[in-house]
Structure 1
Amino acid sequence: MSAIKNYFQQECKFPMLGLEHSKPSDFYTSVWQSTRSSVPLLLWRVLLLLTSVAIVITSFAFYIKSPFSVGYWFIYLTHWGLVLMIASTGFGVATSARVYFYGPISADLNLPWYVKTFWVFHNVAIPVAFLITVFYWTLLYSVDFQEEMDAGLDIAVHAVNTLMMLLLLMSSSHPTRFLHMVHPFLFALTYVVFSVIFYFAGGVNPFGEPWIYPVVNWTKPGPTILLVFVTGVMLIALHFVTVGLAAARDALANRIMRPSVTVYVDEDVALRTHTAQTEANT
Protein backbone atom coordinates (compact mmCIF):
# COMPACT_ATOMS: atom_id res chain seq x y z
CA MET A 1 0.00 0.00 0.00
CA SER A 2 2.86 2.38 0.77
CA ALA A 3 4.22 1.96 -2.76
CA ILE A 4 0.83 2.85 -4.25
CA LYS A 5 0.52 5.83 -1.91
CA ASN A 6 3.99 7.06 -2.84
CA TYR A 7 3.17 6.64 -6.53
CA PHE A 8 0.07 8.82 -6.34
CA GLN A 9 1.82 11.40 -4.16
CA GLN A 10 4.49 11.72 -6.84
CA GLU A 11 2.25 11.49 -9.90
CA CYS A 12 -0.46 13.87 -8.69
CA LYS A 13 1.85 16.85 -8.40
CA PHE A 14 1.00 19.72 -10.74
CA PRO A 15 4.33 19.61 -12.68
CA MET A 16 3.45 16.07 -13.75
CA LEU A 17 0.68 17.56 -15.87
CA GLY A 18 3.34 19.14 -18.07
CA LEU A 19 5.46 17.72 -20.87
CA GLU A 20 8.98 17.76 -19.50
CA HIS A 21 11.22 14.80 -18.77
CA SER A 22 14.78 14.78 -17.43
CA LYS A 23 15.96 11.96 -19.71
CA PRO A 24 15.30 12.82 -23.39
CA SER A 25 16.89 9.56 -24.57
CA ASP A 26 13.78 7.75 -23.30
CA PHE A 27 11.95 9.09 -26.35
CA TYR A 28 14.25 7.51 -28.93
CA THR A 29 15.65 4.39 -27.26
CA SER A 30 13.77 1.27 -26.25
CA VAL A 31 13.75 -0.37 -22.84
CA TRP A 32 14.74 -3.56 -24.67
CA GLN A 33 18.12 -2.35 -25.98
CA SER A 34 21.46 -2.12 -24.23
CA THR A 35 22.89 0.86 -26.14
CA ARG A 36 21.80 4.45 -26.70
CA SER A 37 21.61 4.09 -30.46
CA SER A 38 18.42 5.47 -32.00
CA VAL A 39 18.56 3.01 -34.91
CA PRO A 40 16.70 -0.01 -33.43
CA LEU A 41 13.66 2.03 -32.38
CA LEU A 42 13.80 4.10 -35.58
CA LEU A 43 13.51 0.96 -37.73
CA TRP A 44 10.76 -0.46 -35.53
CA ARG A 45 8.76 2.77 -35.63
CA VAL A 46 9.14 3.00 -39.41
CA LEU A 47 7.62 -0.48 -39.66
CA LEU A 48 4.70 0.54 -37.43
CA LEU A 49 4.19 3.74 -39.43
CA LEU A 50 4.16 1.95 -42.78
CA THR A 51 1.66 -0.59 -41.47
CA SER A 52 -0.53 2.21 -40.12
CA VAL A 53 -0.44 4.07 -43.43
CA ALA A 54 -1.29 0.87 -45.32
CA ILE A 55 -4.36 0.29 -43.12
CA VAL A 56 -5.62 3.85 -43.60
CA ILE A 57 -5.02 3.83 -47.36
CA THR A 58 -6.87 0.51 -47.68
CA SER A 59 -9.81 1.77 -45.64
CA PHE A 60 -9.93 5.04 -47.56
CA ALA A 61 -9.70 3.25 -50.90
CA PHE A 62 -12.77 1.13 -50.11
CA TYR A 63 -14.76 4.30 -49.43
CA ILE A 64 -13.58 5.82 -52.72
CA LYS A 65 -14.73 2.71 -54.58
CA SER A 66 -18.07 2.57 -52.75
CA PRO A 67 -21.26 4.30 -53.92
CA PHE A 68 -21.10 6.55 -50.83
CA SER A 69 -19.26 9.86 -50.54
CA VAL A 70 -15.70 9.54 -49.25
CA GLY A 71 -16.54 12.31 -46.80
CA TYR A 72 -18.37 9.78 -44.65
CA TRP A 73 -14.99 8.25 -43.79
CA PHE A 74 -14.25 11.20 -41.53
CA ILE A 75 -17.31 10.94 -39.28
CA TYR A 76 -16.35 7.72 -37.51
CA LEU A 77 -14.37 7.54 -34.27
CA THR A 78 -12.56 4.47 -35.58
CA HIS A 79 -11.10 6.50 -38.43
CA TRP A 80 -10.14 9.32 -36.10
CA GLY A 81 -8.28 6.64 -34.14
CA LEU A 82 -6.52 5.48 -37.31
CA VAL A 83 -5.35 9.05 -37.95
CA LEU A 84 -4.05 9.15 -34.37
CA MET A 85 -2.20 5.91 -35.06
CA ILE A 86 -0.41 7.51 -38.02
CA ALA A 87 0.30 10.70 -36.04
CA SER A 88 1.79 8.85 -33.06
CA THR A 89 3.98 6.51 -35.10
CA GLY A 90 4.87 9.33 -37.50
CA PHE A 91 6.11 11.66 -34.80
CA GLY A 92 7.89 8.70 -33.21
CA VAL A 93 9.76 8.17 -36.48
CA ALA A 94 10.48 11.91 -36.72
CA THR A 95 11.94 11.98 -33.19
CA SER A 96 14.16 8.95 -33.79
CA ALA A 97 15.25 10.21 -37.23
CA ARG A 98 16.10 13.65 -35.82
CA VAL A 99 18.45 12.02 -33.32
CA TYR A 100 19.96 9.74 -35.97
CA PHE A 101 20.86 12.63 -38.28
CA TYR A 102 21.67 15.40 -35.78
CA GLY A 103 22.68 13.73 -32.54
CA PRO A 104 21.04 13.20 -29.13
CA ILE A 105 18.65 15.70 -27.57
CA SER A 106 20.27 17.72 -24.81
CA ALA A 107 18.93 17.31 -21.29
CA ASP A 108 19.93 20.89 -20.48
CA LEU A 109 16.99 22.40 -22.39
CA ASN A 110 13.26 21.83 -22.51
CA LEU A 111 12.05 18.99 -24.70
CA PRO A 112 11.69 20.06 -28.36
CA TRP A 113 8.19 20.63 -29.72
CA TYR A 114 8.24 17.52 -31.89
CA VAL A 115 9.04 15.33 -28.86
CA LYS A 116 6.21 16.89 -26.86
CA THR A 117 3.88 16.42 -29.83
CA PHE A 118 4.87 12.76 -30.06
CA TRP A 119 4.24 12.36 -26.33
CA VAL A 120 0.74 13.83 -26.56
CA PHE A 121 -0.21 11.72 -29.59
CA HIS A 122 1.22 8.66 -27.82
CA ASN A 123 -0.86 9.44 -24.72
CA VAL A 124 -4.03 9.79 -26.80
CA ALA A 125 -3.64 7.11 -29.46
CA ILE A 126 -3.06 4.13 -27.17
CA PRO A 127 -6.07 4.28 -24.81
CA VAL A 128 -8.30 5.49 -27.66
CA ALA A 129 -7.26 2.44 -29.73
CA PHE A 130 -8.13 0.21 -26.76
CA LEU A 131 -11.47 2.01 -26.40
CA ILE A 132 -12.34 1.64 -30.09
CA THR A 133 -11.68 -2.10 -29.94
CA VAL A 134 -13.70 -2.60 -26.75
CA PHE A 135 -16.51 -0.31 -27.97
CA TYR A 136 -16.82 -2.16 -31.28
CA TRP A 137 -16.74 -5.73 -29.99
CA THR A 138 -19.02 -5.13 -27.00
CA LEU A 139 -21.63 -2.73 -28.43
CA LEU A 140 -21.49 -2.34 -32.20
CA TYR A 141 -20.74 -5.92 -33.20
CA SER A 142 -23.82 -7.15 -31.35
CA VAL A 143 -26.09 -4.87 -33.43
CA ASP A 144 -24.39 -5.93 -36.68
CA PHE A 145 -22.95 -2.46 -37.32
CA GLN A 146 -20.22 -2.21 -39.96
CA GLU A 147 -18.11 0.89 -40.59
CA GLU A 148 -15.94 -0.47 -43.38
CA MET A 149 -16.96 -1.37 -46.91
CA ASP A 150 -15.27 -4.74 -46.48
CA ALA A 151 -16.07 -7.17 -43.66
CA GLY A 152 -12.46 -8.33 -43.32
CA LEU A 153 -11.15 -4.79 -43.11
CA ASP A 154 -13.88 -3.94 -40.59
CA ILE A 155 -12.47 -6.61 -38.30
CA ALA A 156 -8.87 -5.55 -38.97
CA VAL A 157 -9.31 -1.88 -38.06
CA HIS A 158 -10.91 -2.84 -34.75
CA ALA A 159 -8.18 -5.29 -33.74
CA VAL A 160 -4.93 -4.45 -35.54
CA ASN A 161 -5.18 -0.86 -34.30
CA THR A 162 -4.88 -2.03 -30.69
CA LEU A 163 -2.05 -4.41 -31.56
CA MET A 164 -0.14 -1.60 -33.27
CA MET A 165 -0.51 0.77 -30.36
CA LEU A 166 0.38 -1.96 -27.88
CA LEU A 167 3.58 -2.64 -29.81
CA LEU A 168 4.38 1.09 -29.82
CA LEU A 169 3.83 1.29 -26.06
CA MET A 170 5.77 -1.83 -25.14
CA SER A 171 8.79 -0.84 -27.26
CA SER A 172 9.10 2.67 -25.81
CA SER A 173 10.93 3.95 -22.73
CA HIS A 174 9.33 7.27 -21.87
CA PRO A 175 6.85 7.41 -18.97
CA THR A 176 3.08 7.29 -19.18
CA ARG A 177 1.92 9.69 -16.50
CA PHE A 178 -1.23 9.45 -14.42
CA LEU A 179 -2.28 13.07 -14.98
CA HIS A 180 -1.84 12.77 -18.73
CA MET A 181 -5.28 11.19 -18.76
CA VAL A 182 -6.39 14.71 -19.68
CA HIS A 183 -5.05 14.19 -23.22
CA PRO A 184 -7.28 11.25 -24.27
CA PHE A 185 -10.18 12.77 -22.31
CA LEU A 186 -9.99 16.04 -24.28
CA PHE A 187 -9.81 14.09 -27.52
CA ALA A 188 -12.92 12.08 -26.58
CA LEU A 189 -14.72 15.27 -25.55
CA THR A 190 -13.88 16.77 -28.95
CA TYR A 191 -15.48 13.81 -30.70
CA VAL A 192 -18.59 14.02 -28.51
CA VAL A 193 -18.96 17.72 -29.37
CA PHE A 194 -18.49 16.84 -33.04
CA SER A 195 -21.24 14.20 -32.87
CA VAL A 196 -23.63 16.70 -31.24
CA ILE A 197 -22.89 19.35 -33.89
CA PHE A 198 -23.25 16.70 -36.59
CA TYR A 199 -26.73 15.82 -35.32
CA PHE A 200 -28.03 19.37 -34.88
CA ALA A 201 -26.59 20.40 -38.24
CA GLY A 202 -28.74 17.75 -39.87
CA GLY A 203 -25.94 15.31 -40.62
CA VAL A 204 -26.77 11.77 -41.62
CA ASN A 205 -24.77 8.56 -42.02
CA PRO A 206 -24.28 6.83 -45.41
CA PHE A 207 -27.72 5.24 -45.07
CA GLY A 208 -29.52 8.51 -44.37
CA GLU A 209 -30.01 7.94 -40.65
CA PRO A 210 -29.50 10.87 -38.20
CA TRP A 211 -26.74 9.23 -36.18
CA ILE A 212 -23.14 8.15 -36.63
CA TYR A 213 -23.37 5.11 -34.38
CA PRO A 214 -26.71 3.43 -33.58
CA VAL A 215 -25.85 3.34 -29.87
CA VAL A 216 -24.95 7.06 -29.86
CA ASN A 217 -28.24 8.43 -31.13
CA TRP A 218 -28.95 12.03 -30.07
CA THR A 219 -32.62 11.62 -30.98
CA LYS A 220 -32.65 9.66 -27.70
CA PRO A 221 -30.58 11.98 -25.47
CA GLY A 222 -31.11 10.14 -22.17
CA PRO A 223 -29.57 6.77 -23.10
CA THR A 224 -26.96 8.49 -25.26
CA ILE A 225 -25.74 10.78 -22.45
CA LEU A 226 -25.55 7.78 -20.12
CA LEU A 227 -23.54 5.81 -22.67
CA VAL A 228 -21.21 8.75 -23.29
CA PHE A 229 -20.60 9.04 -19.53
CA VAL A 230 -19.89 5.33 -19.16
CA THR A 231 -17.59 5.43 -22.18
CA GLY A 232 -15.70 8.36 -20.65
CA VAL A 233 -15.18 6.41 -17.44
CA MET A 234 -14.01 3.45 -19.52
CA LEU A 235 -11.51 5.64 -21.35
CA ILE A 236 -10.03 6.83 -18.05
CA ALA A 237 -9.83 3.21 -16.91
CA LEU A 238 -8.04 2.29 -20.13
CA HIS A 239 -5.57 5.09 -19.50
CA PHE A 240 -4.85 3.43 -16.14
CA VAL A 241 -4.36 0.17 -18.02
CA THR A 242 -1.86 1.96 -20.26
CA VAL A 243 -0.02 3.28 -17.20
CA GLY A 244 0.05 -0.23 -15.76
CA LEU A 245 1.37 -1.75 -18.98
CA ALA A 246 4.13 0.86 -19.14
CA ALA A 247 5.11 0.10 -15.54
CA ALA A 248 5.09 -3.65 -16.20
CA ARG A 249 7.19 -3.06 -19.33
CA ASP A 250 9.81 -1.14 -17.36
CA ALA A 251 9.88 -3.66 -14.52
CA LEU A 252 10.27 -6.62 -16.87
CA ALA A 253 12.93 -4.88 -18.97
CA ASN A 254 14.90 -3.99 -15.83
CA ARG A 255 14.96 -7.67 -14.86
CA ILE A 256 15.93 -8.92 -18.31
CA MET A 257 18.30 -6.26 -19.58
CA ARG A 258 21.56 -5.22 -18.04
CA PRO A 259 21.11 -2.58 -15.32
CA SER A 260 23.61 -0.21 -16.88
CA VAL A 261 23.54 1.12 -20.43
CA THR A 262 26.58 0.73 -22.63
CA VAL A 263 27.96 4.21 -23.30
CA TYR A 264 30.40 5.13 -26.04
CA VAL A 265 32.68 8.15 -25.92
CA ASP A 266 31.24 9.55 -29.14
CA GLU A 267 27.58 8.97 -28.35
CA ASP A 268 26.83 12.69 -28.57
CA VAL A 269 27.74 12.63 -32.26
CA ALA A 270 24.96 11.98 -34.74
CA LEU A 271 25.17 8.42 -36.06
CA ARG A 272 24.86 9.61 -39.65
CA THR A 273 27.80 12.00 -39.17
CA HIS A 274 29.82 9.34 -37.39
CA THR A 275 29.25 6.87 -40.24
CA ALA A 276 30.30 9.40 -42.85
CA GLN A 277 33.46 10.27 -40.91
CA THR A 278 34.36 6.60 -40.51
CA GLU A 279 33.98 5.98 -44.25
CA ALA A 280 36.10 9.05 -45.03
CA ASN A 281 38.88 7.89 -42.69
CA THR A 282 38.99 4.49 -44.36
Structure 2
Amino acid sequence: MGWKDYFLLSEFKLDYSKPNDFIKFQCGYHKLYLGWRIFWALYHLVWIILTGVYSYQWAGDDPAQQVKWFIYLTDWAYFVLTFSTIIDAICVVYIAVKRDDILLGACSEMPWYLKVDWVFFNVSNSASILVTMLYWGLIYSSSSTQTAVNIETHGLNMVYVLINLFLTGIPVRFYHLFHPMVFGAVYVVFSIIYKILGGTNAQEKSYIYSSFDWSNTGYTTGLSLITVLVAIPICHIILFLLFLLRIFVNKKCCSRTEIQNTATSVDNKSYSPEHYLELKDKNEVKIDMDTPLANKKS
Protein backbone atom coordinates (compact mmCIF):
# COMPACT_ATOMS: atom_id res chain seq x y z
CA MET A 1 0.00 0.00 0.00
CA GLY A 2 1.55 3.30 -1.15
CA TRP A 3 1.53 6.33 1.13
CA LYS A 4 -0.95 8.16 -1.13
CA ASP A 5 -3.46 5.34 -0.58
CA TYR A 6 -3.72 6.29 3.09
CA PHE A 7 -5.27 9.62 2.07
CA LEU A 8 -7.90 8.48 -0.40
CA LEU A 9 -11.44 9.63 0.39
CA SER A 10 -12.46 5.98 0.74
CA GLU A 11 -10.36 5.92 3.90
CA PHE A 12 -13.17 7.78 5.66
CA LYS A 13 -15.22 4.59 5.54
CA LEU A 14 -15.11 1.53 7.77
CA ASP A 15 -14.72 -0.87 4.85
CA TYR A 16 -11.61 -3.05 5.01
CA SER A 17 -10.62 -5.97 2.82
CA LYS A 18 -8.73 -7.95 5.49
CA PRO A 19 -10.97 -8.25 8.56
CA ASN A 20 -8.72 -11.01 9.92
CA ASP A 21 -6.23 -8.25 10.81
CA PHE A 22 -8.59 -7.47 13.71
CA ILE A 23 -8.16 -10.89 15.30
CA LYS A 24 -4.40 -11.36 15.27
CA PHE A 25 -1.11 -9.81 16.21
CA GLN A 26 0.67 -7.68 13.62
CA CYS A 27 3.15 -10.48 12.99
CA GLY A 28 0.36 -12.91 12.21
CA TYR A 29 -2.30 -14.99 13.90
CA HIS A 30 -1.22 -16.47 17.21
CA LYS A 31 -3.02 -18.82 19.54
CA LEU A 32 -2.27 -16.45 22.44
CA TYR A 33 -4.24 -13.60 20.86
CA LEU A 34 -7.54 -14.78 22.30
CA GLY A 35 -5.96 -14.89 25.75
CA TRP A 36 -4.51 -11.40 25.15
CA ARG A 37 -7.95 -9.98 24.42
CA ILE A 38 -9.72 -11.71 27.32
CA PHE A 39 -6.99 -10.68 29.77
CA TRP A 40 -7.21 -6.98 28.89
CA ALA A 41 -11.01 -7.00 28.91
CA LEU A 42 -11.01 -8.44 32.43
CA TYR A 43 -8.16 -6.16 33.50
CA HIS A 44 -9.97 -2.98 32.50
CA LEU A 45 -13.30 -4.25 33.81
CA VAL A 46 -11.74 -4.78 37.25
CA TRP A 47 -10.14 -1.34 37.19
CA ILE A 48 -13.29 0.51 36.17
CA ILE A 49 -15.08 -1.18 39.07
CA LEU A 50 -12.28 -0.07 41.36
CA THR A 51 -12.66 3.54 40.19
CA GLY A 52 -16.17 3.38 41.63
CA VAL A 53 -15.20 1.48 44.78
CA TYR A 54 -12.46 3.98 45.61
CA SER A 55 -14.44 7.07 44.60
CA TYR A 56 -14.30 8.20 48.23
CA GLN A 57 -10.64 9.09 47.62
CA TRP A 58 -11.68 12.14 45.59
CA ALA A 59 -15.35 12.59 46.55
CA GLY A 60 -15.32 11.93 50.30
CA ASP A 61 -17.75 9.67 52.13
CA ASP A 62 -20.96 11.21 50.79
CA PRO A 63 -22.58 8.79 48.27
CA ALA A 64 -24.32 11.77 46.63
CA GLN A 65 -20.89 13.10 45.64
CA GLN A 66 -19.39 9.72 44.75
CA VAL A 67 -22.08 9.18 42.11
CA LYS A 68 -20.63 12.17 40.23
CA TRP A 69 -18.07 9.76 38.82
CA PHE A 70 -19.96 10.02 35.52
CA ILE A 71 -19.29 13.76 35.00
CA TYR A 72 -15.51 13.53 34.62
CA LEU A 73 -13.75 13.21 31.26
CA THR A 74 -11.27 10.80 32.83
CA ASP A 75 -14.05 8.37 33.64
CA TRP A 76 -15.71 8.81 30.24
CA ALA A 77 -12.43 7.96 28.57
CA TYR A 78 -11.73 4.96 30.80
CA PHE A 79 -15.26 3.67 30.33
CA VAL A 80 -14.85 3.83 26.54
CA LEU A 81 -11.47 2.10 26.82
CA THR A 82 -12.99 -0.68 28.95
CA PHE A 83 -15.94 -1.05 26.59
CA SER A 84 -13.55 -1.22 23.64
CA THR A 85 -11.52 -4.06 25.19
CA ILE A 86 -14.70 -5.97 25.98
CA ILE A 87 -15.90 -5.62 22.38
CA ASP A 88 -12.44 -6.76 21.21
CA ALA A 89 -12.71 -9.93 23.29
CA ILE A 90 -16.28 -10.69 22.23
CA CYS A 91 -15.43 -10.26 18.54
CA VAL A 92 -12.38 -12.52 18.74
CA VAL A 93 -14.30 -15.25 20.60
CA TYR A 94 -17.24 -15.06 18.19
CA ILE A 95 -15.04 -15.20 15.10
CA ALA A 96 -13.01 -18.10 16.52
CA VAL A 97 -16.25 -20.05 17.05
CA LYS A 98 -18.49 -18.92 14.19
CA ARG A 99 -16.48 -17.26 11.42
CA ASP A 100 -13.82 -19.55 10.02
CA ASP A 101 -13.90 -17.53 6.80
CA ILE A 102 -12.55 -14.47 8.66
CA LEU A 103 -10.14 -16.61 10.65
CA LEU A 104 -8.63 -18.03 7.44
CA GLY A 105 -8.64 -14.78 5.50
CA ALA A 106 -11.24 -16.00 3.01
CA CYS A 107 -13.55 -13.08 3.88
CA SER A 108 -12.92 -9.64 2.39
CA GLU A 109 -15.96 -7.84 3.81
CA MET A 110 -15.98 -6.21 7.23
CA PRO A 111 -18.86 -7.45 9.42
CA TRP A 112 -20.79 -4.78 11.31
CA TYR A 113 -19.44 -5.80 14.71
CA LEU A 114 -15.81 -5.29 13.62
CA LYS A 115 -16.78 -1.85 12.33
CA VAL A 116 -18.20 -1.02 15.76
CA ASP A 117 -15.02 -2.40 17.33
CA TRP A 118 -12.93 -0.19 15.05
CA VAL A 119 -14.82 2.98 16.01
CA PHE A 120 -14.36 2.32 19.73
CA PHE A 121 -10.71 1.45 19.10
CA ASN A 122 -10.19 4.88 17.50
CA VAL A 123 -12.12 6.77 20.16
CA SER A 124 -10.61 5.01 23.18
CA ASN A 125 -7.03 5.35 21.91
CA SER A 126 -7.18 9.10 21.30
CA ALA A 127 -9.27 9.73 24.41
CA SER A 128 -6.76 7.90 26.62
CA ILE A 129 -3.86 9.92 25.26
CA LEU A 130 -5.82 13.18 25.49
CA VAL A 131 -6.90 12.60 29.10
CA THR A 132 -3.35 11.72 30.14
CA MET A 133 -1.94 14.85 28.47
CA LEU A 134 -4.63 17.16 29.88
CA TYR A 135 -4.28 15.75 33.39
CA TRP A 136 -0.52 16.13 33.63
CA GLY A 137 -0.57 19.42 31.73
CA LEU A 138 -3.53 21.26 33.31
CA ILE A 139 -4.77 19.48 36.43
CA TYR A 140 -1.85 17.77 38.16
CA SER A 141 -0.47 19.45 41.26
CA SER A 142 2.77 18.42 42.92
CA SER A 143 1.04 18.70 46.28
CA SER A 144 -1.69 16.18 45.35
CA THR A 145 -1.45 12.54 46.41
CA GLN A 146 -1.27 10.05 43.56
CA THR A 147 -3.43 6.98 44.11
CA ALA A 148 -3.30 3.68 42.22
CA VAL A 149 -6.57 4.58 40.46
CA ASN A 150 -5.15 7.95 39.44
CA ILE A 151 -2.04 6.35 37.96
CA GLU A 152 -4.10 3.73 36.13
CA THR A 153 -6.53 6.22 34.58
CA HIS A 154 -3.93 8.91 33.78
CA GLY A 155 -0.89 6.90 32.78
CA LEU A 156 -1.15 3.14 32.51
CA ASN A 157 -4.17 3.57 30.25
CA MET A 158 -1.91 5.25 27.68
CA VAL A 159 0.77 2.59 28.15
CA TYR A 160 -1.79 -0.07 27.27
CA VAL A 161 -2.93 1.88 24.20
CA LEU A 162 0.62 2.15 22.85
CA ILE A 163 1.48 -1.51 23.52
CA ASN A 164 -1.77 -2.67 21.98
CA LEU A 165 -1.25 -0.43 18.94
CA PHE A 166 2.23 -1.81 18.27
CA LEU A 167 1.43 -5.49 18.81
CA THR A 168 -1.98 -6.01 17.23
CA GLY A 169 -2.95 -5.99 13.57
CA ILE A 170 -5.76 -3.42 13.84
CA PRO A 171 -5.12 -0.58 11.36
CA VAL A 172 -5.33 3.15 12.02
CA ARG A 173 -6.72 5.40 9.30
CA PHE A 174 -5.86 9.09 9.10
CA TYR A 175 -9.38 10.22 8.28
CA HIS A 176 -10.87 8.35 11.23
CA LEU A 177 -9.75 11.25 13.40
CA PHE A 178 -13.34 12.49 13.31
CA HIS A 179 -14.40 9.54 15.52
CA PRO A 180 -12.63 10.83 18.66
CA MET A 181 -13.50 14.42 17.66
CA VAL A 182 -17.20 13.53 17.90
CA PHE A 183 -16.53 12.01 21.33
CA GLY A 184 -14.84 15.22 22.47
CA ALA A 185 -17.66 17.37 21.11
CA VAL A 186 -20.26 15.25 22.92
CA TYR A 187 -18.42 15.75 26.21
CA VAL A 188 -18.26 19.52 25.66
CA VAL A 189 -22.02 19.63 25.00
CA PHE A 190 -22.62 17.51 28.12
CA SER A 191 -20.53 19.88 30.25
CA ILE A 192 -22.52 22.87 28.99
CA ILE A 193 -25.86 21.20 29.74
CA TYR A 194 -24.58 20.10 33.16
CA LYS A 195 -23.59 23.70 33.92
CA ILE A 196 -26.96 25.10 32.77
CA LEU A 197 -28.80 22.60 34.98
CA GLY A 198 -26.80 23.76 37.99
CA GLY A 199 -24.56 20.71 38.27
CA THR A 200 -21.55 20.75 40.58
CA ASN A 201 -18.43 18.65 41.00
CA ALA A 202 -17.67 16.36 43.94
CA GLN A 203 -16.50 19.36 45.99
CA GLU A 204 -19.79 21.23 45.31
CA LYS A 205 -18.03 23.70 43.03
CA SER A 206 -19.97 25.07 40.06
CA TYR A 207 -17.65 23.47 37.53
CA ILE A 208 -16.42 19.99 36.66
CA TYR A 209 -12.77 21.03 36.41
CA SER A 210 -11.40 24.36 37.63
CA SER A 211 -9.54 24.74 34.32
CA PHE A 212 -12.78 23.98 32.44
CA ASP A 213 -15.21 26.41 34.07
CA TRP A 214 -18.09 27.67 31.93
CA SER A 215 -18.42 30.70 34.24
CA ASN A 216 -15.45 31.95 32.23
CA THR A 217 -17.25 31.51 28.91
CA GLY A 218 -14.64 32.98 26.58
CA TYR A 219 -11.70 31.01 27.97
CA THR A 220 -13.58 27.70 28.21
CA THR A 221 -15.04 28.08 24.72
CA GLY A 222 -11.55 28.62 23.34
CA LEU A 223 -10.17 25.69 25.31
CA SER A 224 -13.00 23.46 24.07
CA LEU A 225 -12.40 24.42 20.43
CA ILE A 226 -8.65 23.87 20.75
CA THR A 227 -9.23 20.50 22.42
CA VAL A 228 -11.75 19.21 19.87
CA LEU A 229 -10.31 20.75 16.71
CA VAL A 230 -6.58 20.64 17.48
CA ALA A 231 -5.58 18.46 20.45
CA ILE A 232 -7.73 15.43 19.59
CA PRO A 233 -6.67 15.40 15.90
CA ILE A 234 -3.03 15.65 17.02
CA CYS A 235 -3.52 12.63 19.31
CA HIS A 236 -5.00 10.64 16.44
CA ILE A 237 -2.30 11.72 13.99
CA ILE A 238 0.35 10.60 16.47
CA LEU A 239 -1.34 7.20 16.61
CA PHE A 240 -1.52 7.10 12.82
CA LEU A 241 2.22 7.81 12.54
CA LEU A 242 2.95 5.10 15.10
CA PHE A 243 0.81 2.73 13.02
CA LEU A 244 2.92 3.54 9.94
CA LEU A 245 6.04 2.90 12.02
CA ARG A 246 4.57 -0.46 13.04
CA ILE A 247 4.01 -1.39 9.41
CA PHE A 248 7.55 -0.33 8.51
CA VAL A 249 9.14 -2.30 11.34
CA ASN A 250 6.98 -5.30 10.51
CA LYS A 251 8.12 -5.33 6.89
CA LYS A 252 11.76 -5.06 7.94
CA CYS A 253 11.88 -7.38 10.90
CA CYS A 254 8.83 -9.54 11.32
CA SER A 255 8.10 -12.83 9.60
CA ARG A 256 4.33 -12.58 9.58
CA THR A 257 1.61 -15.06 8.84
CA GLU A 258 -0.20 -14.30 5.58
CA ILE A 259 -3.55 -16.01 5.20
CA GLN A 260 -5.30 -14.34 2.32
CA ASN A 261 -4.42 -15.74 -1.13
CA THR A 262 -2.02 -18.32 0.28
CA ALA A 263 -2.28 -22.02 0.93
CA THR A 264 -3.58 -23.47 4.18
CA SER A 265 -1.49 -26.34 5.48
CA VAL A 266 -3.30 -29.17 7.27
CA ASP A 267 -1.91 -32.67 7.71
CA ASN A 268 0.88 -31.87 5.24
CA LYS A 269 -1.67 -30.96 2.55
CA SER A 270 -2.24 -27.52 1.10
CA TYR A 271 -5.60 -25.85 0.51
CA SER A 272 -6.72 -22.42 -0.53
CA PRO A 273 -8.82 -20.75 2.19
CA GLU A 274 -11.96 -21.18 0.08
CA HIS A 275 -11.28 -24.86 -0.64
CA TYR A 276 -10.45 -25.44 3.00
CA LEU A 277 -13.80 -24.04 4.11
CA GLU A 278 -15.62 -26.26 1.62
CA LEU A 279 -13.87 -29.35 3.00
CA LYS A 280 -14.47 -28.25 6.58
CA ASP A 281 -18.20 -27.94 5.90
CA LYS A 282 -18.07 -31.58 4.83
CA ASN A 283 -16.13 -32.45 8.03
CA GLU A 284 -13.20 -33.63 5.92
CA VAL A 285 -10.65 -31.35 7.61
CA LYS A 286 -10.44 -29.67 10.99
CA ILE A 287 -8.72 -26.45 12.03
CA ASP A 288 -5.79 -26.95 14.37
CA MET A 289 -5.14 -23.58 15.99
CA ASP A 290 -1.68 -24.71 17.08
CA THR A 291 -0.62 -25.28 13.47
CA PRO A 292 0.40 -22.22 11.44
CA LEU A 293 -2.03 -21.75 8.57
CA ALA A 294 0.55 -20.36 6.18
CA ASN A 295 3.97 -18.80 6.32
CA LYS A 296 5.12 -16.07 4.04
CA LYS A 297 7.46 -13.14 4.60
CA SER A 298 6.12 -9.75 3.64
TM-score tier after normalising by the smaller chain length? 0.7 to 0.9
CA contact (8 A) 2:18 2:109 kept: no
Which of 165, 170, 190 lines up with 1:169 in the alignment? 165
Structure 2 residue aligned with 1:204? 200
Shift of 1:260: 5.7
Q: CA RMSD in A?
A: 2.6
Task: Say whether residues 1:153 and 2:149 are aligned partners.
Answer: yes
Write the distance in 1 (CA, Å) between the matches of 2:26 and 2:84. Answer: 18
Gaps of 5+ in 2: 267-272, 290-298
TM-score, normalised via structure 1 length: 0.84
Amino acid at match of 2:61: S
Write the distance in 2 (CA, Å) between the matches of 1:236 and 1:48. Answer: 26
Structure 2 residue aligned with 1:125? 124
1:138-149 equivalence runs, <5 A: 138-142=137-141
Task: Say whether residues 1:110 and 2:106 are aligned partners.
Answer: no
Structure 1 residue aligned with 2:78? 82
Write the distance in 2 (CA, Å) between the matches of 1:143 and 1:255. Answer: 43
Alignment length, in residue pairs? 263
Write the distance in 2 (CA, Å) between the matches of 1:245 and 1:142. Answer: 30
Shift of 1:201: 0.8
Structure 1 residue aligned with 2:250? 253
Write the distance in 1 (CA, Å) between the matches of 2:234 and 2:78. Answer: 21
CA contact (8 A) 2:68 2:201 kept: yes
Relative contact order higher in (CA < 8 Å, ≥ 6 apart) = 1
Write the distance in 2 (CA, Å) between the matches of 1:66 and 1:22. Answer: 52
Q: What per-residue deviation string (whole Å, max 9, x for no partner) do you get for residues 206-228 of structure 1?
A: 11111111100000011111211
Which of 8, 14, 21 lines up with 2:16 in the alignment? 21
Write the distance in 2 (CA, Å) between the matches of 1:144 and 1:17. Answer: 44
Write the distance in 2 (CA, Å) between the matches of 1:111 and 1:123. Answer: 16
Shift of 1:178: 0.7
TM-score, normalised via structure 2 length: 0.80
Task: Say whether residues 1:229 and 2:225 are aligned partners.
Answer: yes
Q: What per-residue deviation string (whole Å, max 9, x for no partner) do you get for residues 185-219 of structure 1?
A: 00000000000000001101111111111100000
Larger radius of gyration: 2
Percent pairwise identity: 27
- Runs in 1 of length 4+ with deviation above 4 angstroms? 106-109, 143-146, 266-270
Task: Say whether residues 1:46 and 2:45 are aligned partners.
Answer: no
User: Cα–Cα, structure 1 residues 184 and 165, in superposed 2: closer, same or farther, change >3 Å?
Assistant: same
Amino acid at match of 2:147: A
